[in-house]
Every structure is written in structure tokens, then in C-alpha cells.
Amino acid sequence: MDRQYTYTRPADIEKESMRIIEEEMAEKAIRIPDDQLAVVKRVIHTTADFDYGENLRFTEGAVSRSLQTLGQGGAVFITDTNMALSGISKPSLEKLSARAFCYMARPEIMERAKAEGKTRAAVSMEQGAEDYPEGIFVSGNAPTALITLSKLIREGLRPSLVIGVPVGFVNVVESKEELFAVCREADVPAIVAFGRKGGSNVAASICNALLYSAAGTIDPVKRGWQV
């Protein structure tokens, strides 16, 4: 027997999903500050995992400062995976005159990583910091990216935002906690998923929540999702 589905248009599906998320957050007594809510809901929407209502941590003013950066135009995202890069909304980047890059597959990065005995993620962050010291640095996969960023921030790097949500078991928890502490001490905006959970999809969803908020397109209809 054919099932009857109430919601079939992308915009309607997303809106109903967000309604369900809000309802279940209330049932679970998950309370999120208003300025952080769009980010947390987007991550839960991406993962169907309400743990992010508890483990996503924000330095003070991280969202408002990030939206100000994006609103000024010309922001640059540096990701630690091409998967995260591919998940970032290209229309939103264009609307805000922003750009996004991943250096991981560049031959010069691979050669340098091999020569220096470092991971490509670490070298990618170093190169990104050299090219775009006020960029938005996004890690959804590699703890070594966060370890490198922590070191660079201690040495004076001041990114517009660091998104630290790598997933895994080795150095993941420690690198996130260190990064958050370093960013808070240096007054660098940061959004970090404490614990083992995360991933490139989570990284991209945080980027998109910020982009949609800055572009005024939280409503999917405004992103052209009505059909």
C-alpha cells in the first residue's frame, strides 16, 4: 500500500523538521540562548542527534561577532576537508561576497606535510593562517588542525571565528577543550562540539546556519526551496 506523505516540498519538509526539533528540545528541557539557537537547531537537523543541544559550546558573543564579520562581506572560510567545503552553501557565500577553500588536496600542501612530518590538516591551517589571518577556520575531521590553530593563536593569530567539531577517538576531546580555552583566553570567537562527536557534516551545518542568519535566509523559502 502506498504511504501518504503530508510534506513533499523541500521548504515544507525543512520547516516541519525544525518545528519537531523545537518541540523535542522543549520536551527534553534543552534550553539554548536565542543567539545560538539557529546554529544548534541546524546541527540537530543535520544529525538528528539532540546531544548537540548539550555539547555545542560557544565563546561569549561568538555568533553575534561572526554575523558581523559575514555581514561586512569578504569573509573567507578555510576547511580541513573537501567534504565540509562541499557542504557549505555556495549561493549564501555568493550573496555575502564570501569565499571558502580547502587546501588539503593541493600538491604543495602534501609535499610540505611529508617533508615536515606533519599532517596535511596541520599544514593546511598554517597556510590558511598565512593567507587569511582573519579567516574563519573550520575543522570537522582533524584534531591536528585544532592543535595547530591553538598554537597559532597563542603566537598571535586572531581569526574571525574557529569552528572545532572533529569526530573521533584520538586527541579529539583534548584538542577541542584546549582550543576552546585558548580562544576564550585570546578573545577569539569559537564554536566547539565538546566530546567525541562531530564531523564534516556538522562543520558545514554550523557554517550554513551562520550564513543563512547573516543573509536573512533562515526561512528556506527565501533560499528558493519552495519547489
Could you read off the pLDDT of 81-90 as tens digits, one per residue? 999 999 999 9
Q: What is the mean pLDDT of residues 67-74?
A: 96
The C-alpha atoms of residue 112 and residue 89 are separated, in whole angstroms, by 30
The domain at 53-217 falls in which architecture? 3-Layer(aba) Sandwich (3.40)
pLDDT given at position 7: 58
pLDDT given at position 26: 95
Residue 27, C-alpha cell as written in the block: 520536551
pLDDT tens-digit profile of 100-146? 999 999 999 999 999 999 999 999 999 999 999 999 999 999 999 99
The model carries a pTM of 0.94
Task: Provide, rounded to the nearest whole percent, the portion of the chain with pLDDT above 70.
Answer: 95
With bands split at pLDDT 50, 70 and 90, how would you rate the model's confidence at 225? low
pLDDT of 27 > 50? The answer is yes
pLDDT of 72 > 80? The answer is yes
CA 216 from chain center: how many Å? Answer: 18
Residue 40, C-alpha cell as written in the block: 544548534
pLDDT of 166 > 60? The answer is yes
What is the full DSSP assignment across 104-138? TT-HHHHHHHHHHT--HHHHHHHHHHHH-TTSEEE
What is the full DSSP assignment across 194-223? -SS---HHHHHHHHHHHHHHHHT--SGGGG
Q: What is the mean pLDDT of residues 149-164?
A: 98
pLDDT given at position 10: 81
Whether 3 sits among the annotated catalytic residues: the reply is: no
Choosing from 11, 30, 36, 45, the catalytic residue is 45
Report the chain's mean pLDDT, rounded to a whole number: 93
Q: How far is CA 162 from CA 14, 66, 111, 117, 153, in A?
A: 27, 10, 26, 24, 10
Q: What is the mean pLDDT of residues 159-172?
A: 96
With bands split at pLDDT 50, 70 and 90, how would you rate the model's confidence at 1? very low
Q: Which DSSP state fits 168?
A: S
Instruction: Name 187's Cβ contacts closer than 8 Å, sequence gap at least 6.
Output: none
